[in-house]
Chains A and B, each alone.
Chain A
Amino acid sequence: MWTQEHFRVLHVDLTARKSRVLEFGNPVDALGGSGLAAALYDEYGLPQEPAHHPDQPLIFAIGPLTGYYPLMSKVVCAFKSPYHEQYAESHAGGRMALAMRFAGYHALMITGRAATLSVLQAGSRSMQIKDVHYLRGKDVFSTGKLLRSLTRSSDSRGHRSIIRIGPAGEKGSSYACINVDTYRHFGRLGAGAIMGLKNLKAVAMEGDADFQMPGGKAYAKIYKDFFQKVTATDMMRKYHDLGTPQNLIPLNELKSLPWRNLQATSDPAVDRISGETFAEELLLRQTACAGCPVGCVHIGLLRQQFAKDHEFLYRQVSYDYEPIFAMGSMLGLDAASNVLVLLEETEKVGLDVMSAGVALAWATEALDTGLISEKETLVPLRFGDVKGYAQAIRHLGLASNDFYKTLAQGSLVAAEKYGGGDFACVLGQEMAGYATGEVYFASQATSFRHSHLDTGAYSYDQKRKEQDTDAAVKFLVEDEQGRMELCSMVSCLFARSVYTHDALQEALAAVELTDMADNLTQASANVQQLRWKLKIATGFDPHAVKIPKRFTEVETWRGKIDETFMWDVQKNYADAIMKMAST
């Protein structure tokens, strides 16, 4: 069903309450995923209009190998970000990729604004926009529960994906996320706020169509090979075993784990929030994105006493490395179960966990240094004090007062008003959990998604001792291009050692997408270029990038940060980006 002729896009206009199926674009050039999303924004986006313009498209795109191979299980969400008003992408797993695939769409594009709070329900033979005004203000979990019964059809259980927002998305927080099937997220840069602006509480996608098998024996064999590699070798083992939290101890040892608003990069308390501790004390089970036999999603058991007669309630909370950094070490927490308390609160209100944790870390230091008082924060914020943070997360999600309303637009926006810009840990957006050194800081501040996922700069810092600006910039540009192939397919990035360039070409050819296979190198370079063009057309100036002072004060395993080297990498990387965008 993935032809080489055109993409099949479901376009829903919420204002007109109409939908249509578009035959769009050229798959051999745009591939899918990141490439398809960029091509759609290029055609239908409004780069000059603000992010909150109702006609800005909210795009979800899958790739040509979705469902055909293991771990081809992600969706790219593209939109103009309310956080920085630039073209942005966020990726999520869950069941949505396969649901879209089996519903027969390569992309879903939503424009306009519904008259009342609505849910969009779509499948291969259905499309409805339903009023759900009664879900206003409902948290992510109760919304999920109500929607499951509201959108159920005879065979939909397990073959349907429900994505939804919480109060933070409805309130327009710049880092409201979209929750996908309870445990996954389009987390960063405010996709949830865009759904909120569209008056769209949720999308339920049902994968209810069937297709002919592509290829013949070659496909069966290559499928089996990939499957063996990801399940029967050690290549993916760590993701299933401790999961990404296995990184806490090594990064702490490398002096690269941000603690207490990046006042330190290492702390002996890591043992109390390490992957090992989570696994031994709290892990309930692992679960998986549909189409992924690895099962890296780790679910912890949170048990809370609510009355004195041994009365407990229990919750299942998913955890990962980044959430533990953001709601754990960054806030100085030293008990794994307390991290789960905060993750659960963040999940309920529908905020991006990294942005929220880093923003609260800034607020804690701002309170401590007297820039703000409890008049603003409403509750005491102290590193290590879980109670205050649990309440503060609710205030942040609900934008309870002027202070939280401002903080919900980003730490730098708050710092502009209250001071404390020097210690706002923002690199394009609130930082990810890697204080590995100069190349990483320059990379996250400047790269496309302002994310640790744009390139492997954090591991570059760990592997390369010499300070070679040209080599670093070359690495950033080339590594991003490699990732463009995967992000256009849209594979889980954990599988990047399995899905090498050659393996992807083979995989495409085996499902009869030979022209795409032959054009893969050129097409991924084009995708990289188009994304940068769109980001720059929506206002990004890589030369205007700022890296707050706090990042120059930290000590990593390499020693003190070398500011000259960091800014050298940043400037040269900015030059390289401008060059890519202008060719």
Chain B
Amino acid sequence: MKVLLANRMERCIGCHSCSLACARQVHKKFSWSMAGIRIHSSGGMTTGFEAKLCVACNPAPCALACPTDALTQREGGGVKVKHSLCIRCGACAEACPVDAIYLGEGLPYLCIHCGRCVPFCPQGCLELVDEPDKEAALAPECAPFGHMEEQ
């Protein structure tokens, strides 16, 4: 099971390309919010950026809180989402410890760890990994802006 990590947010330039790509490709929306990853500023523009996304809890409090099985536990962390079963009660968003679920028209929008946002990050902030590697979370090594690997 692959998991999306946003471990190198120190490099983020706040372009929102990742969240726009997710909204566009995964959720078929033109939106800043209906996306599995949302970019917030930590304060103003002077303080850098943070990513709001599912951190792949296992067990996932949102799935445990869901009364209809619209959200179910995914093996290896994270959840599966089935909008057709959702009764829009909002319990999942409330249960999420990291504020990763956005309720759009009452429906939950969250990261499904598909990785389609990754190629759209010009700074290499995001990565899709097999097992959440604890060491990877520590050291943001260098592989930034798209064309710089040529050097």
Q: Check if A288 is an interface residue, CB within 8 A of chain B.
A: yes
Are B120 and A293 in contact, CB atoms less than 8 angstroms apart?
yes
Q: Check if B15 is an interface residue, CB within 8 A of chain A.
A: yes
Are A207 and B32 in contact, CB atoms less than 8 angstroms apart?
yes
Are A288 and B104 in contact, CB atoms less than 8 angstroms apart?
no
Q: Interface size of B by Cβ–Cβ distance < 8 Å?
A: 34
Pick from B25, B28, B45, B104: contact of A181, CB under 8 Å: B45
Pick from B30, B41, B46: contact of A157, CB under 8 Å: B41
Q: Check if B87 is an interface residue, CB within 8 A of chain A.
A: no
**Which residues of A sit under 8 angstroms from B31, Cβ to Cβ?**
102, 209-211
Q: B28 — nearest CB in chain A belongs to which residue?
A: A213
Given A158-B14, A227-B17, A286-B13, 4 other A-B residues pairs in contact with their CB atoms under 8 A:
A210-B104, A231-B147, A291-B16, A291-B20
Are A213 and B13 in contact, CB atoms less than 8 angstroms apart?
no
Q: Check if A1 is an interface residue, CB within 8 A of chain B.
A: yes
Q: Check if A52 is an interface residue, CB within 8 A of chain B.
A: no
Pick from B13, B40, B44: contact of A295, CB under 8 Å: B13
Are A182 and B32 in contact, CB atoms less than 8 angstroms apart?
no
Q: With contacts A98-B32, A213-B28 known, is A227 near B20, CB below 8 A? A: no
**Which residues of B sit under 8 angstroms from A223, Cβ to Cβ?**
24
Q: How far is the CA of A303 from the CA of B14 in the complex (A)?
A: 24
Are B15 and A292 in contact, CB atoms less than 8 angstroms apart?
yes
Determine how close the nearest CB of chain B comes to the CB of A149; give it in whole angstroms: 10
**Which residues of B sit under 8 angstroms from A227, Cβ to Cβ?**
17, 120
Q: Check if B29 is an interface residue, CB within 8 A of chain A.
A: yes
Are B122 and A295 in contact, CB atoms less than 8 angstroms apart?
yes
Q: Which of B1-50 contact A (CB under 8 A)?
A: 13-17, 20, 23-25, 28-34, 38-41, 43-46, 48-49
Q: Check if A551 is an interface residue, CB within 8 A of chain B.
A: no
Determine how close the nearest CB of chain A comes to the CB of B24; give it in whole angstroms: 6
**Which residues of B sit under 8 angstroms from A155, Cβ to Cβ?**
33, 38, 102
**Which residues of B sit under 8 angstroms from A145, Cβ to Cβ?**
44
Q: How far is the CA of A287 from the CA of B48 in the complex (A)?
A: 9
Chain A 1-42 interface mask (CB, 8 Å, partner B; 1/0): 100000000000000000000000000000000000000000
**Which residues of B sit under 8 angstroms from A211, Cβ to Cβ?**
29-31
Chain B 117-145 interface mask (CB, 8 Å, partner A; 1/0): 00010110000000000000000000001
Are B147 and A213 in contact, CB atoms less than 8 angstroms apart?
no
State the majority secondary structure of interface residues on B: mixed
Q: A68 — nearest CB in chain B belongs to which residue?
A: B30
Q: Which of A331-374 contact B (CB under 8 A)?
A: none
Q: Check if B106 is an interface residue, CB within 8 A of chain A.
A: no
Q: A208 — nearest CB in chain B belongs to which residue?
A: B33
**Which residues of B sit under 8 angstroms from A181, Cβ to Cβ?**
44-45
The 3 closest A-B CB pairs, nearest first, are: A158-B40, A295-B13, A231-B146
Q: B31 — nearest CB in chain A belongs to which residue?
A: A210
Q: Check if A190 is an interface residue, CB within 8 A of chain B.
A: no
Q: How far is the CA of A498 from the CA of B30 in the complex (A)?
A: 23
A-B contact list, 7 entries, CB within 8 Å: A181-B45, A210-B30, A211-B30, A227-B120, A232-B147, A293-B13, A293-B122
Q: B25 — nearest CB in chain A belongs to which residue?
A: A220
Q: With contacts A144-B44, A158-B49 known, is A212 near B145, CB below 8 A? A: no
Q: Check if A237 is an interface residue, CB within 8 A of chain B.
A: yes
Q: With contacts A183-B45, A220-B24, A287-B45 known, is A295 near B15, CB below 8 A? A: yes
Tell me which of A182, A295, A297 has the highest count of chain B C-beta atoms within 10 A of its own C-beta. A295
Q: How far is the CA of A206 from the CA of B122 in the complex (A)?
A: 25
Q: Check if A234 is an interface residue, CB within 8 A of chain B.
A: yes
Q: Which of A530-558 contact B (CB under 8 A)?
A: none
**Which residues of A sit under 8 angstroms from B39, Cβ to Cβ?**
158
Q: How far is the CA of A290 from the CA of B15 in the complex (A)?
A: 5
Chain A 276-316 interface mask (CB, 8 Å, partner B; 1/0): 00000000011111111111010000000000000000001
Determine how close the nearest CB of chain B comes to the CB of A124; give it in whole angstroms: 11
Q: Check if A433 is an interface residue, CB within 8 A of chain B.
A: no
Are A98 and B16 in contact, CB atoms less than 8 angstroms apart?
yes
Pick from B13, B34, B46, B147: contact of A233, CB under 8 Å: B147
Determine how close the nearest CB of chain B comes to the CB of A358; give it in whole angstroms: 27
Determine how close the nearest CB of chain B comes to the CB of A240; give it in whole angstroms: 6
